[in-house]
């Protein structure tokens, strides 16, 4: 039951984009087409999942050497290394997705949602047991799934809006922000599901 509650909380209740407003730059920038949104979402899931594992071990080392005050800097370095790995894989095996993501792929490094999941994992689950490693990993993966769900929903809405008659004052970015706000309000309704 603990794992099910964690999954529901990570995807719906504590959704990084729609409930905590972290990671808005790639959310708004890459959500023009479903294909690129899916690629960005999968890259974020991969980075968040691996970062959760690596950061659990890195935090153990920081605690052992009593240098926890360096955690933010070290976490950013770990995330940057993982993003470089994703970038190399995409460039080699999926060059069309690599070029479609463009500047937003390196922005995963500074995506505050990825750093946020790392810090939340350390604060919530610590580094004491192997179960905390599993909980950290699951939180990272399903937080990425929540990000992917949000970006795919917005991409679908934006693709449909491209074929609709929208008043000139709302065309482009304003209607995208309105759609994101309405999505955010709908995700807030999940807050009562998990305490």
Number of domain units in the chain = 1
- Looking at the domain assignment, is residue 6 inside a domain? no
Domain that holds residue 40: 24-187
- Whether 90 is covered by a domain: the verdict is yes
* Residue 60 maps to a domain: yes
Q: pLDDT category, 36, cuts 50, 70, 90?
A: confident
Widest Cα–Cα separation across the chain: 60
- Asked if residues 184 and 27 have their Cβ atoms less than 8 Å apart, the reply is no
Answer yes or no: is pLDDT of 65 > 60: yes
134 falls within a domain: yes
Q: What is the reported pTM?
A: 0.86
Distance CA 30, CA 144 (A): 15
Task: Assess if residue 8 is contained within a domain.
Answer: no
Judge whether residue 33 has pLDDT over 60: yes
CA distance 89 to 122: 28
pLDDT per residue as tens digits for the range 145-188: 999 999 999 999 999 988 888 888 888 889 999 999 999 988 88
Contact call for residues 86 and 125 (beta carbons, < 8 A): no
Residue carrying structure tokens 């935090």: 59
Would you say residue 122 lies in a domain? yes
2 occurs within a structural domain: no
68 token code pair = 């926890």
Helices 34-64, 71-93: axis angle to 10 degrees equals: 140
Q: Is the pLDDT of residue 86 over 70?
A: yes
Task: Compute the half-sphere exposure of residue 25: CA atoms within 13 Å on the CB side of its CA.
Answer: 14
pLDDT of residue 67: 92
Q: Which residues contact 123 (CB under 8 A, 6 or more apart)?
A: none
Q: Is 110 left (phi over 0), alpha (psi -120 to 50) or beta?
A: alpha
d(CA 157, CA 102) in angstroms, rounded, equals 22
Predicted confidence at residue 122, as pLDDT, reads: 86
In a domain, 4, yes or no: no
Residue, of 59 and 126, whose pLDDT is higher: 59
Check residue 144 and give its pLDDT: 93
């Amino acid at each position: 039951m603990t794992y099910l509650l964690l999954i529901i909380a990570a995807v719906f209740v504590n959704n990084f984009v729609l409930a905590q407003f972290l990671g808005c730059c790639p959310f708004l920038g890459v959500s023009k087409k479903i294909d690129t949104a899916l690629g960005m979402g999968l890259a974020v899931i991969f980075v968040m999942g691996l970062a959760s594992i690596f950061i659990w071990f890195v935090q153990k080392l920081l605690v052992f050497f009593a240098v926890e005050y360096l955690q933010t800097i070290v976490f950013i370095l770990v995330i940057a290394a993982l993003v470089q790995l994703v970038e190399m894989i995409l460039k080699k095996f999926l060059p069309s997705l690599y070029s479609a993501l463009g500047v937003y792929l390196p922005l995963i490094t500074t995506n505050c949602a990825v750093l946020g999941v790392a810090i939340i994992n350390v604060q919530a689950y610590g580094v004491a047991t192997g179960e905390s490693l599993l909980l950290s990993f699951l939180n990272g993966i399903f937080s990425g799934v929540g990000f992917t769900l949000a970006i795919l929903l917005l991409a679908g809405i934006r693709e449909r809006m491209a074929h609709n008659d929208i008043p000139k004052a709302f065309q482009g970015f304003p209607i995208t922000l309105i759609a994101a706000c309405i999505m955010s309000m709908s995700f807030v309704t999940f807050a009562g599901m998990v305490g």
